[in-house]
Amino acid sequence: MKLSGAQILLECLRQEGVTHIFGYPGGSVLPIYDAIFDCHDIKHILVRHEQGAAHMADGFARSTGKVGVCLATSGPGATNLVTGIATAYMDSIPMVAITGQVRTTAIGKDAFQEADITGITMPITKHNFLVKRVEDLANALAEAFHIARTGRPGPVLVDIPLDVSKNLIEFDVKADYPSLISIPSYRPAGPSGRVPELQIRKAAQLIAEAERPVLYVGGGAVASGAQAEVTALAEKTNILVTTTLLGKGSLDETHPLSIGMLGMHGTAYANHAVNQSDLLIAVGARFDDRVTGNVDKFATGAKVIHIDIDPAEIGKVIQPDVPIVGDVKAILTELLKLVAPRPASDWNDQIMEWKRRFPLIYPDDGQLYAEHAIEKLSALFDHDCIMATDVGQHQMWAAQYFKCRRTRQWITSGGLGTMGFGLPAAIGAAFANPDKRVVCLSGDGSFQMMTQELMTATVYGLPVIALIVNNKSLGMVRQWQEMFYEERYSQVDLQASPDFVKLVEAYGGVGFRARTPDELDEVLQKAKAITDRPVVIDCLIPTSENVYPMIPSGQTVDEMLVKTDLEAAKASVHADGEEWSFSAEEAVLSHYVEAVNAAQQEKAQ
Amino acid sequence: MTNSIMAQLQQEHTITVLVENHPGVLARVAGLFARRGYNIESLAVSVTDRPEVSRMTIVVGGDLRVLEQITKQLNKLVEVLKVVDYSETAAVERELALIKVNSEAKDRAEIMQIVEIFRARIIDMSDKTFIIEVTGSTDKLDKITGLLSGYGIRELVRTGIIAMARGSKTASRAGRDAAE
Ligand SMILES: Cc1ncc(C[n+]2csc(CCOP(=O)(O)OP(=O)(O)O)c2C)c(N)n1
């Protein structure tokens, strides 16, 4: 049968098992939208901004592990996708972005709505294609999906000129869609490939010899679906597990062997543990600068085992003693057979002691804090909701206080740190997980970057709950200005913001406001009962709150800053999710007194 | 320890990159060098005995760690078939230069002597200039350029290095094996 390029595109998407396309129409994708008009098995979601489409495809992918698909027209449509593609690229998220292009004869002539999107996205895609002949379209799409989901996943862009999607050719999907892709120049490691046995044996040996080992687990463990293997390895060896921002959930964060996130805003105990370890087992993690701080002083006493599917990550930042290239799940499975069981040791006790001395804490003074909001939100859905975040202080608080039980429950822009990501990513996740509640933790700044997607949530009846931690400022920037720029607050004031309650109502959703923990409890119950439209909860928190602990950029755990507010410390506090009282835990108080003294001395100097 | 040893080995490396002969592939390779901050000292691109494969010879500056990263990052590009580093291999490296030099009557004999010593050739002459063609190692080309500069070089162009392993070993054969 003769099919147009646009019809072939949809046939190919069907073959790839695509269920949702997040897109926005325009001139050079008119033939594609005409084909979509007749397509009822693949759902097209009309967004309100192409960046929203890219983030939705991303949220869809992060919450399922499947390839997310977005679609935009040439020129401005394509360039609007760019931030979303870069976000996915930095976090190795499988995505196929399809863009229209001006007709092949007009390319290079500065035609109306022409943008060289393959050129623009070259550094932010794993690969991209400009398809110049309809005969090449099916192959390009098959390769695009293959490249996006295999090896270290990533976004792939396919640019389709208008005439290519219009032209008709004889096409039989069974015969003409390549089922087995072989690209001679692309042979990534995979779950079924051979594993480097010798290296794994060496790793097992180092683990047997180590006295102070730590597992440092990143997004690679999530991508390869290795939660069970990480858990089994930790349990068999009693090695405590810290994760990166993207590795959250690789071990249930309520597991006794979990010590939370490490790095700039990681837990003090995770950072102390890594710093004093004699063996660091990096699993699908890339020694990002937000994790290491000053690399030369990072975990100086530790030997390093580095497991990663991307050979280029090995030795990029840190030269490991035992590099192991391959699929995390496959390698951990082998490693598990070789490691000897190891009882919990003094080292485990030491880390637990740090955990007692330096818990995550926030005041319990009747005020509403972001930490409350996060804990209550999580509890509201029995800790089984999917949490998407925006970027800023609220994101770091969420990383500290939202305890993931599993992978793919936590959706956040790590590498690029894209404000505006949260709401559309939550919407994408909601499409993929109709049986789960999806919440979005946002800031008053970030939320205003993608607000228009509330309309998408309303149109499709998605009960996404967006909780805005409203500190009336660009909090994270304000924090840096306070700490490192002598409190010269430049352009961070957001006193002037829309009334978020009215705003969501204008979009057809429901809005609430909470000023105290009790008020929040009340509105959360109401929010939970709403199941057919988006909800926004405007949570008013103090402007002056800072995220602690904090290791300033490029420094070490020795320079870690902790909460220095003695008044707050004296009050009873919430610590690591439990009610604590300071009088009961002298060690903590003495730590605070130390910190306050140090801070005061510094000021006096 | 190993880091500091590696860092000391600052030098130039000649690598050969076999790529799919697709449009845009040069931009991908050049873009990778630019955005990762690697220095290209020279770059030569041509087709090979297989029309679907192009061969790039790139001279890069940096220590061994940088070289390792460059090699790995290049290998990540989907259209790169193979990267061969000639640092450890006996290889022939050649570059060609065309030099347009002033040739006043009084200097001609001297210049022609230099040309002879360097086994170069005069391939064009006018009443005021010669064009000299010379092939050889970078070092040889630097030397003859140095000698000729005394007469006044008007224009100079060099192809950039191309390289090939000595003996029966071939880069393209390896590329083909990988493709099979
Ligand atoms: C698109 C984009 N622009 C700018 C930044 C820089 N930036 C990082 S955090 C931040 C402030 C975020 O403010 P808000 O969303 O209110 O969150 P808060 O820090 O107050 O919790 C800014 C401007 C960014 N990460 N992304």
Please compute the mean of the pLDDT values over residues A39-53 and round it to a whole number.
97
Q: Per the CB < 8 Å rule, is A122 touching B27?
A: yes
Q: Is the ipTM of this complex over 0.90?
A: no
**Which residue of B78, B81, B82 to mutate against A (max A Cβ within 10 Å)?**
B78
Q: What's the rounded mean pLDDT across residues A346-354?
A: 95
Q: Is A310 close to B69, i.e. CB distance below 8 A? A: no
Query: Interior CA angle at B30 toward B28 and B32, to 5°?
Result: 65
Residue B17 CA to residue B55 CA, distance in Å, equals: 6
A127 touches chain B (CB under 8 A): yes
Residues of A in contact with B78 (CB under 8 A): 126-127, 147, 183, 185-186
Pairwise CA distance, residues A602 & A348, whole Å: 34
User: Is the CB–ligand 1 distance for residue A391 below 6 Å?
Assistant: yes
Percent of chain A with pLDDT over 70: 93
Residue B43 makes CB contacts below 8 A (sequence gap 6+) with: B30, B56, B57, B58, B59, B160
Residue type, position B96, single letter: L
* Per-residue tokens: A150: 């295999």
Give per-residue burial for A5-30: e unless 16+ CB within 10 Å, then b.
bbbbbbbbbebbebbbbbbbbbebbb
> What is the DSSP code string of A87-98?
HHHHTT--EEEE
Whether pLDDT at A600 is above 80: no
Each residue's pLDDT tens digit, A356-373: 888 888 888 889 999 999
Report whether residue A545 contacts ligand 1, using a CB cutoff of 6 Å: no
Mean pLDDT of A403-418: 98
Say yes or no to pLDDT of A596 above 80: no
Q: Which residue of A has its CA nearest to B178?
A: A184
Average pLDDT over residues A573-593: 44
Residue-level pLDDT at A193: 75
**3-state SS class at A221:** helix
Give the pLDDT confidence of A317-343 residue by residue, as tens digits: 999 999 999 999 999 999 999 999 999
At residue B149, the pLDDT reads 96
Q: What is the pLDDT of residues A53-91, one digit of tens each?
A: 999 999 999 999 999 999 999 999 999 999 999 999 999
* Gyration radius of chain B over CA positions: 19
Long-range (24+ apart) CB contacts under 8 A made by A292-297 are: A292/A263, A292/A317, A292/A318, A293/A263, A293/A264, A293/A551, A293/A552, A293/A553, A293/A554, A293/A555, A293/A556, A293/A557, A294/A554, A294/A555, A294/A556, A297/A556
Task: Classify burial at B92, counting beta carbons within 10 Å of its beta carbon; exposed 0-12, middle 13-18, buried 19 or more.
Answer: exposed
Nearest CB among A122, A126, A184 relative to B81 is that of A184
Residue with CA closest to ligand 1 atom 20: A475
DSSP secondary structure string for all residues of A410-476:
EE---SS--TT-HHHHHHHHHHH-TTS-EEEEEEHHHHTTSTTHHHHHHHTT---EEEEEE-SB-HH
Q: What is the pLDDT of residue A588?
A: 46
- Tell me whether residues A185 and B78 touch, CB distance under 8 A: yes
Confidence of residue A572 (pLDDT cuts 50, 70, 90): very low
Which amino acid is it at B67? L
Of B101, B17, B98, nearest to B59 by C-alpha is B17
Ligand 1 lined by A467 (C-beta under 6 Å): no
CA dihedral for B101, B106, B112, B113, sign (positive or negative): negative
Assign residue A260 a region (left: φ > 0; alpha: ψ between -120 and 50; beta: otherwise): left
Cα A275–A279–A280 angle (5° rounding)?
A: 70
Q: How confident is the model at residue A578 (pLDDT cuts 50, 70, 90)?
A: very low
Number of Cβ pairs < 8 A linking chain A and chain B: 43
- pLDDT-based confidence at A417, cuts 50/70/90? very high
Q: Does A272 touch chain B (CB under 8 A)?
A: no
Chain A nearest C-alpha distance from B71 (Å): 8
**Has residue A164 got a pLDDT over 60?**
yes
Stretch 23-42 of chain B: residues touching chain A, C-beta under 8 Å: 24, 27-28, 31-32, 35
A504-513 pLDDT tens trace: 999 999 999 9
Burial class (CB in 10 A: 0-12, 13-18, 19+), B132: buried
Measuring from atom 8 of ligand 1, which residue has the nearest CA?
A392
The residue whose CA has the least distance to atom 9 of ligand 1 is A392
For residues A591 and A223, which has the higher predicted lDDT (pLDDT)? A223
Residue A146 forms contact with B (CB below 8 Å): no
Q: What is the pTM of this model?
A: 0.92
State the DSSP H helix or E strand holding residue A21, giving kind and residue range, or none if neither.
strand A20-23
**Which amino acid, A172?**
D
Identify the H or E element spanning A242. strand A241-243
Instruction: Look up residue A218 and give its two tokens.
Output: 């990143």
User: Please, what is the average pLDDT of chain A?
Assistant: 93
* The pair of three-digit structure tokens given for residue A385, joined into one six-digit string: 């909701």
pLDDT at A403: 96
Give distance in angstroms: CA of A578 to centre of ligand 1.
29
**CATH number of this structure's domain B92-162, picked from the four choices 3.30.70.1150, 3.40.50.740, 3.30.1300.10, 3.90.1530.10:** 3.30.70.1150
Q: Which residues contact A338 (CB under 8 A, 6 or more apart)?
A: A200, A201, A203, A204
Give the pLDDT confidence of A208-252 residue by residue, as tens digits: 999 999 999 999 999 999 999 999 999 999 999 999 999 999 999
Residue A604 banded pLDDT, cuts 50, 70, 90: low
Identify the pLDDT of residue A57.
98
Q: For the ranges A27-41, A482-496, A531-545, A575-589, which has the lowest average pLDDT?
A: A575-589
Regarding the beta carbon of A250 and ligand 1, being less than 6 Å apart is answered no
Q: Per-residue pLDDT averaged across A156-168, rounded?
A: 98
Chain B hits for A119, Cβ within 8 Å: 24, 27
pLDDT interval class at A404 (50, 70, 90): very high
Amino acid, single-letter form, for residue A501 = V
Angle at A147 between CA A145 and CA A152, to 5 degrees: 125
Pick A448 or A570 by higher pLDDT.
A448
Residue pair A207/A339 in contact (Cβ under 8 Å)? The answer is: yes
Nearest CB neighbour to A185, from listed B27, B72, B80: B80
C-beta of residue A498 within 8 angstroms of C-beta of residue A492 = no
B135 phi-psi bin (left φ>0, alpha ψ -120 to 50, beta other): beta
Task: Compute the average pLDDT of residues A291-295.
Answer: 93
**pLDDT in the model for residue A364:** 80
- The region that residue B6 occupies, defined by phi over 0 for left and psi between -120 and 50 for alpha, beta otherwise, is alpha
Q: Structure tokens of B52?
A: 């679907």
Q: Ligand 1 in contact with A394 (CB < 6 A)?
A: yes
Using a CB-CB cut-off of 8 Å, the residues of chain B touching A156 are none
**Residue B179's pLDDT is what?**
35
Residue nearest atom 1 of ligand 1, based on CA coordinates? A419
Domains contained in chain A, CATH given: 2-176 (3.40.50.970), 197-356 (3.40.50.1220), 362-587 (3.40.50.970)
Cβ pair A184:B3 closer than 8 A: no
Ligand 1 pocket check for A305: Cβ under 6 Å: no
Which three-class secondary structure state does DSSP give residue A268? Answer: helix
Residue at token pair 């990267």: B83
The tens digit of pLDDT for each residue in A298-321 reads 999 999 999 999 999 999 999 999
The domains spanning B3-89 and B92-162 adopt the same CATH topology: yes
CA dist., res. A182 & res. A513, Å (int): 55
Q: What is the pLDDT of residues A454-488, one digit of tens each?
A: 999 999 999 999 999 999 999 999 999 998 999 99
Asked whether residue A438 carries a pLDDT value surpassing 90, the answer given is yes
B163 close to A (CB below 8 A)? no
A158-180 per-residue burial string, b: 16 or more CB within 10 A, e: under 16: bbbbbbbbbbeeebebeebbeee
* Angstrom distance (rounded) from CA B85 to CA A42: 48
CA of A316: which chain B residue's CA is closest? B69
User: Inter-chain contact B78–A186, Cβ cutoff 8 Å?
Assistant: yes
Query: Distances in Å between the alpha carbon of A391 and those of A401, A418, A550?
Result: 15, 6, 16
pLDDT (tens digit, 9 = 90+) per residue, A95-116? 999 999 999 999 999 999 999 9
**H/E run at residue B136:** strand B129-136
Does domain B3-89 correspond to CATH entry 3.40.50.300?
no
Do the chains contact at A185 and B27, CB–CB below 8 Å?
no
All residues at 6 or more sequence positions from A407 whose CB lies less than 8 Å from its CB, including other chains? A221, A222, A225, A227, A248, A249, A250
Strand (E) or helix (H) holding A372: helix A370-380
List chain B domain ranges: 3-89, 92-162
Question: Within chain B, which residues score under 70 in pLDDT?
Answer: 1-10, 172-180
